[in-house]
Amino acid sequence: MYKQNPELVEKIRQQFKTAPYPRIDLETTPKNYWEALYLHSIVTPYYLRNQKVISTEEKVILDAGCGTGYKSLILALANPGAKIVGIDLSEEAIDLARKRLEYHEIDQSAFHVLSIEEVGQLGQEFDYINVDDVLYLFEDITVGLNALKSVLKPQGIIRANLHSELQRTSYFRVQKVFKIMGLMDEVPGELEIEIARDTMRNLKDDVVLKTKTWSLDLEQDDERVLMNYLFVGDKGYTIPELFAALRKTNLQFISMLNWRHWELTDLFKKPDDLPTFLALSLPETSPEEQLHLFELLHPIHRLLDFWCGHTDNGELFTPIAQWTESDWQQAQVHLHPQLRTPEVKAHLLESISSHQSFEISRYVPLPTTVPIFLESHLAACLLPLWDGVQSLSSLVQLWQKLRPLDPITLESVSDEMAASDIKTLLMRLESLLYVLLERSV
């Protein structure tokens, strides 16, 4: 069985003992960090894979490489009723993680000093596994993926990420410079941080490596210096290497976390009028190839951040755009749970009462590249979703009350016209995962 280089593992352990990560005050709460809660709700990837809405009650979530527990806290708040289990190499980090969740009164949590390779010792299986900013520290990432896969429930989902080789190429060059200077022979500390900082500070401003990596906030932020210039074990990957690892471990790619920001056609001036060759070949191009083309053309993402799961354990479903009338009649309409909050509802009510457009993307902008506004009277049809799941027919009936007459013909709005309006609205919002649609069984 393959094992990590023990010397490297110990250096990584000591690195995080010296500088527990992330350095976020225990009192800091992510409860208004809407986008993080949206991404770390297991509802989001489960719906992307299965077009079904899952309850978070009694689910068991593993935060592998949990550090000081800030992401564990996000997972707890994003998934009410779930149990959070955290593991990390660092005793100091685990102690802070326990204190963090105790401070925020999260009762259903447990933390263990344990490596990812040893996760089987917990004797548990997990509905969701979060492994954030850890996997790229493995000499062979398939070792980490296989260990996590071994404790993943059949319908479970893994969220993991790798540093992008193409986006972080300048930082890897900086790390090589400091390795040559001997700053990473041992675990970097305050002296090495200051030498690295002084080196970058004294380079001419037009030196390429400085223009690509240096910023004034590094003058005070020791954590950023460590995590970028002196990060022991850091390594970058490309999309083909990511997919090769998934094939080797028999895991199935689900989606990138920020999927809307990996859209290849968005890189062209006229997405609806692509160059002939690309327009003809794109429909036959695999997701892997499209993502790789994107990273080659526009390497802006620090992380190759993705969801995956057991092969062939996703459920087959019909895309919303292909639904029949029968499908729509069985439709159950849910608001994404991270939008079903008093704050968002208050914003909607204010928009309705003032006849102002409702910006539904205000709290979770990630699924879109432009702000999404809804006319106030149309947005009013969403109001019942804060009370719970709704049927298509109930929303259609509400729309007919809100807009009984066609504003041009002044004739009564027919059932068919009202249903068409609501379907158009729901399809638009479902494509952004602001609303979730499932057929009742």
β-pair type (303-310, 251-256): antiparallel
The per-residue b/e assignment along 93-117, b for 16 or more CB within 10 angstroms, e otherwise, is: bbebbbebbeebebeebebeebbbb
Per-residue pLDDT tens over the stretch 224-274: 999 999 998 899 999 999 999 999 999 999 999 999 999 999 999 988 888
| Ranges of each domain in the chain | 6-166+238-258+301-310, 170-229, 320-439
Structure tokens at 298: 């526009």
Answer yes or no: is pLDDT of 307 > 60.
yes
CA-based max dimension of the chain: 80
Per-residue pLDDT tens over the stretch 47-63: 999 999 999 999 999 99
Distance CA 436, CA 429 (A): 8
Answer yes or no: is pLDDT of 408 > 80.
no
pLDDT confidence of 2, banded at 50, 70, 90?
very low
Smallest CA-to-CA distance from 436 within 10, 28, 50, 40 is with: 50
**143: Cα within 13 Å, side-chain hemisphere:** 15
Query: What does pLDDT average to over the chain?
Result: 92
Own/partner pairs, 95-101, CB within 8 angstroms, 24+ separation: 96/20, 96/26, 96/68, 96/69, 97/66, 97/67, 97/68, 97/69, 97/72, 98/69, 99/26, 100/26, 100/68, 100/69, 100/70, 100/72, 100/73, 101/69, 101/72, 101/73, 101/76
User: Hey, what's the torsion of the CAs at 268, 274, 275, 280, to 10 degrees?
Assistant: 140
Selected residue with higher pLDDT from 404 and 328: 328
pLDDT given at position 281: 87
Smallest CA-to-CA distance from 312 within 154, 127, 191, 165 is with: 154
Structure tokens at 110: 């447990």
pLDDT given at position 1: 37
Distance CA 373, CA 362 (A): 9
Tell how far CA 218 is from the center of its chain: 26
Per-residue pLDDT tens over the stretch 79-122: 999 999 999 999 999 999 999 999 999 999 999 999 999 999 99
Answer yes or no: is pLDDT of 13 > 70.
no
With beta carbons less than 8 A apart as the criterion, state whether 82 and 72 touch: no
Burial of 329 (0-12, 13-18, 19+ CB in 10 A): middle
Per-residue pLDDT tens over the stretch 337-371: 999 999 999 999 999 999 999 999 999 999 998 99
With beta carbons less than 8 A apart as the criterion, state whether 382 and 352 touch: no
Return the H-helix or E-strand segment holding 229.
Answer: helix 222-229
Q: Which CATH number fits domain 6-166+238-258+301-310: 1.10.10.10, 3.60.15.10, 3.40.50.150, 3.40.50.300?
A: 3.40.50.150
Per-residue pLDDT tens over the stretch 148-163: 999 999 999 999 999 9
pLDDT given at position 317: 86
Q: What is the mean pLDDT of residues 121-150?
A: 96
pLDDT given at position 17: 57
The structure tokens 């951040």 sit at: 305
